[in-house]
Structure formats: structure tokens, C-alpha cells
Structure 1
Amino acid sequence: MRRSLLYSILALWAVVAGGFFGFLITENYWSRPLDALYLTVMTITTVGFGDIVPVTTEGKLVAVVVAVAGIAAGISTLQALFNLVVSNNLRSELGLPQRRIRMKDHYIICGYGNVGREVAEKLKANKESFVVIEKDQDRVQDMVENGISVIRGDAEDEDTLLKAEIMKAKGLIAAMKDPPNMVTVITARSMNPNLTIISEVEDDKNESKLRRVGANVTVNCYRMGAQIMVGRARRKESDPVCGVDINGKNALSLQHEGNTYHFCSEECMAAFKAHPDRFIQWLKALDESCMMPP
């Protein structure tokens, strides 16, 4: 719809430019360019004050072409503008989800269950742009009412991911069941090889499969949450990267912003050093979700 409006405006400008130069040449208005523009506008709008009129045969032919083309382009522009405004207002009034978003460097959240909802809240708190893809009508309606960008559709479908501007996104978070997560990861990776993909995993045996088909990171929310809760109960430390219980005295340690973090291996410590904020935010999210004090 926006594209048709753009084409209509370009056509209208082309008619104005054509009429301007046409009158400059046929009416010899080189020394009076404002009169050429004035005559073009009066011809298109059919006002015709009569103070300036074409006098040459060629000029009259230009006027006929400009009048017909200008009226057509003008009507097309007004219709496209009207359709755009009315369509947006209707979708807003009826509480309908977006058909396509206009974003860049955003995140795509696939699924708005418990995990997807928490992810959306954290991204919103960090002022990150995101759009949710969800099939359930009740969840979609809830997001529309709360002003959350949402596309109703199947995240496994290429057309739905295109509507979510997957080619311009910087990350995709699959927060559904393992089977749809698997298909979504495969589809997203084939469409955007450079996209960072994080997938929730429920069954441990699917973790390696999700990584093989394109997930950069897999997260078992139940396992990691349980590990952290048990660690808190036993007063033991856990690796912020992989979530493994470790002995703080014998583990590798790293100071970051006044806090000490312990790691089970050099690989986990290197991953934390590369993106510390990512893992700290994840730990905070788990704490808040499980209602555990630090």
C-alpha cells in the first residue's frame, strides 16, 4: 500500500516536471520559468484562471497531455493516501495484528508462552526493538491491546518470517516446543545465514540437533532454572555460561563490575568475556522469573 502511494506521488511529480519543461520549450518561457510552473499547476488542477494560457499549437497539446495525466496521477495519489490512512485506522480500531513490520536491527520472538513473554519484557526493559510471531488468537489480541508489535502467523513459514523483516533482524529467539523450534531454526538459517539464533530446548537430546541445523545458542530453561535454584539452596556457585554447578574455590574466577563469577572451563570464561552483559542479563532474568533474591 505504501509502495502504491510512492509510485503515485512519483507519477504526479513526473507530470509536473513534464509540463514544466514542455511549456518552457513550446511557449518559450525560458526567461519566465515561474510562469511555466504556474501554467502546469493550473492545468493539472483545472483551475484555469485564464491570465496565462498556451498560445502555440504545441503548447496546447502539452496542456491536454498534462491535464489528463495530472488528473489521473492526482486521483491515484489521493486514493492511495486514503487507503493507507483508513487501513491503519481500521486495524488500530479493530485491534488487528500487523501484517508486516518496518524494523531494522531488531529481534524476532517466535512464540509468546511463558518464556517468550519474559523475553519480550526483558527486551522492552532494555529498550530493544522486537516483534513477536504468534499463532494463538487470544495471545495475539493480548499483545495488540498492550501495544506489542505482533504478527499472527506460523514462525515456521518463510512468508511470516519475511513479514517480520528477518533479513534486517539481528537476532531470532525461538521460544516454542522443540519440533516447531527445529523447523523455525532451519527456515530462519536458510533465509539469513548471518542471523544470531537462540532456541529454547525442552529435551536434552534435541540440543545437539538444534545446534547442527543452525542455532547459535540453545537454552534449556527448566534445567538451568533448576540448577540455579539447587545451587542457591546448597549455597554453591554455578557457571553463568553453561549453568553447571561448580566449586567456587577450585573453579576459574573472573572479576566483572565488582562481582566475582566462577567458570567450569576456559571456554566458558572466554565466552563470558566476549559478551558479559548477555550472560548477566540471562542470570537476572532467571532470578526474576523464579522470584529468587540475589
Structure 2
Amino acid sequence: MAMRKPIRLQRHRPLRRKLGLPVWADAFLRLFAAIFLVFMVVLIHWSDRDGLIDNHDGVVSFSDVVYFTMISITTTGFGDIAPVSDKARMIEAMIVTPIRFAVIFIFVGTAYNFIIKRSWERFRMSRIQDRLKDHVVVLGFGVSGSEAVAELIARGTSPDCIVVMDNSEDRLQLAEDMGCNIINADATRDESLQDVRIAQAATVLVSAGRDDSSILIVLTVRHLAPEVPITVVVRAPDNELLARQAGATNVINPVRFTGLLLAGSASGMHTADYLSDLASVTGRVQLVEREARPEDIGRSLRELGSGSLGLRLYRDGRAIGYWEDEAQSVQPGDMIVVIRPTPECGPGVL
């Protein structure tokens, strides 16, 4: 995704340059093309002026040709000047008519691109922004980001509540095909994050592909949304502390997690399988975090009223295991991490 990156050495790439034109240049080229086509028709009509008749004075002057060209191209057709010879009529039908369509398409296309399309896009963006609240913002739609979105949707999150920001049109197309809201923008810029209502988001997932870029994004998000939870993916262990200092609520190191799975499989053949089962909605069990419910209050973490298997609770910023004394009585406001079976594999306990 687009972000401020340090200069680095790269392999040889073919020499190229950006082909995009500024708005004023695009409009000028369209206008020049239309004028050129009109000028071509004027020359054609002037060269065959003997095939035209002027019902006013009988003389076809150059100004008459220009006048006839304009009313002909705009399909006005007053009838005061008209082609009368077979040659003039064939020229009008075979040459002037295609040029007339081309000029009309140029002006219609220009009006669409610069007025209708932009106004419609602004209207659509405004409508989407008005509904953005408690949504999930995914900054970076690479391998990790796309897998996270697919898992969120599989767990029941509506794609309408997911906003994906990236600078790759191909990756954004994949996100759009999944039903998500998308935006091609730089996640390190304040205005880009404000466009997706970052302060009203339920959570932010950052996976920029580079640790330095991800940490810079976390800093920007935390500046604009001091209370929103941020989860970031970093790959270097040294950067985990930096990510937390930047404001990340959760830091995920895929390399470290892979190592844990490998170590678990070495100590037991089913450990890694169960961990993968917990992490995915397609497994037989799910690892879920939720707030303590009325039926849980006063109960032990091991015997929750909902029937879930409690593993850990968070109280006043502290993590408390099920074996600790504080976990013998769940209190209002506790956040609980529980294991529950998926609906297909067991009763619908929550």
C-alpha cells in the first residue's frame, strides 16, 4: 500500500515514467481533439462547397461553411443551408456523420468524467461514510490482510462493515468482489484515515507488508483514534516493542506464531492441529473474547453460566488465568476469553 518508504536498492527494472495526466491537461486534450475534428469538417465542407446550397442568398461563403458545419455537427439542422449534390450528401453521410458522433462522445465523455462521475462518486462516498460506525478498517490487503477479511466474513461479520485501504487496484478489486468497502489511498496520511471514519471504527487491522510502514501507520491511526483497538502484523522481533510503543493494542508476529506451532507439534502430534482449530472459524471449536454476562457474574471462570469453557479474564488491564484466585468469581465488566464449539459441532453455547 502507498506509504513513505526509505530508499533501498532494487533489481534492474525497465525504464518507465508515469503516464497519468493532470485534470487540466486531460480536459485540454479532449477540447483540442473536438476542435480539430470540427476544423476537419469545415475543410471538407469548404472543399465541396459547390455541393451546398444557401437558401438565403444563393452564395456559400466561408462563414456559411463554418455556420453549416456547426449546425450540422450539433444536429440542429435549420435547413437554410443543405447538401444538394450526390457527392455532398455522401460526404455528409460517410464522413461528417462519424465525426459528428465522435465530437458528441468527446463532450459527453468529458462531462461524465469531470462532472457526473465525480459528483456521483462523491455522493456514494458520502453515503457510505454516513453509515460507517463500529466498522473494521483493514489497512493493507496483502496475504495477511486478505486472510483476515475472509476469516472475519466467515465468522459472521458483514462485508458492509469492513473497509479495506490499499494502493493496489488488483488487491482492491479482490476486496470489492468480497463485498467490502474499498478505498485507494495512503494509510499514513491523516486525510485518508479520516475518509474512512477511523475514529468511529470498532477495530483497526494493520498489515502493510513492511514493519517500518506498519509502525508508521499505527502511529498515524493512534494520533487520530486514541481509543480504537489496533492490531498490527510485524515480522522482526525487535519491532514488536516499537509497535506497542507506537500505540498498537495487539502485535502479531507470524514468524513467532509459526515457531510456536512447530514447537507444539514436536511435543505432541495433536497440539498444532488443535491450535489451528482454535484460530479458524472452520474448526470444531472457536476461541472467542466477550464481556461477562449476567449469568456469569459470581461464577468461577471454569463454570460459566453460558456453558462456555473459560480460559482467561481481563480485569483492570490484568490478565488472570482460570487457576488464579481472582478467577473464582467473575465480576461485571470483566472481558473473558472462552472456548466454544462451532454451531455445526455442538450446542450453541456462547
TM score, norm. by length of structure 2: 0.43
More helix, by proportion: 1
Letter in 2 for 1:222: V
Change (3 A) 1:166 1:230: same
After TM superposition, give the deviation of residue 145 of structure 1 in Å. Answer: 3.2
Equivalenced residues, count: 180
Separation of aligned partners in 2, 1:86 and 1:267: 51
Match of 1:145 in 2: 177
1:241-280 equivalent positions in 2, closer than 5 A: 267=319, 269=321, 274-276=335-337
Q: Aligned pair 1:174/2:226, yes or no?
A: no
Cα displacement string for residues 138-183 of structure 1 (whole angstroms, at most 9, x for unaligned residues): 1112222332211111111111111111021021111122111111
* Residues 312 and 337, structure 2, Cα contact 8 Å, conserved in 1: no
RMSD: 4.1
Change (3 A) 1:98 1:219: farther
Separation of aligned partners in 2, 1:200 and 1:268: 25
After TM superposition, give the deviation of residue 268 of structure 1 in Å. Answer: 6.1
Provide structure 2 residue ranges, at least 5 long, that are not aligned to the other structure: 1-114, 276-300, 328-333, 343-350
Separation of aligned partners in 1, 2:126 and 2:145: 18
TM score, norm. by length of structure 1: 0.51
Cα displacement string for residues 68-116 of structure 1 (whole angstroms, at most 9, x for unaligned residues): xxxxxxxxxxxxxx9599826x99xxxxx99964410011111111110
Separation of aligned partners in 2, 1:140 and 1:260: 38
1:52-201 equivalent positions in 2, closer than 5 A: 87=120, 101=129, 102-125=131-154, 126-128=156-158, 129-176=161-208, 177-201=210-234
Match of 1:212 in 2: 245
Change (3 A) 1:204 1:137: same
> Identity rate of aligned residues, in percent?
23
1:24-43 equivalent positions in 2, closer than 5 A: none
Match of 2:254 in 1: 221
SS of the residue 2:150 aligns to:
helix
1:273-292 equivalent positions in 2, closer than 5 A: 274-276=335-337
Separation of aligned partners in 2, 1:98 and 1:110: 20
Larger radius of gyration: 2
Separation of aligned partners in 1, 2:223 and 2:252: 21
Change (3 A) 1:146 1:178: same
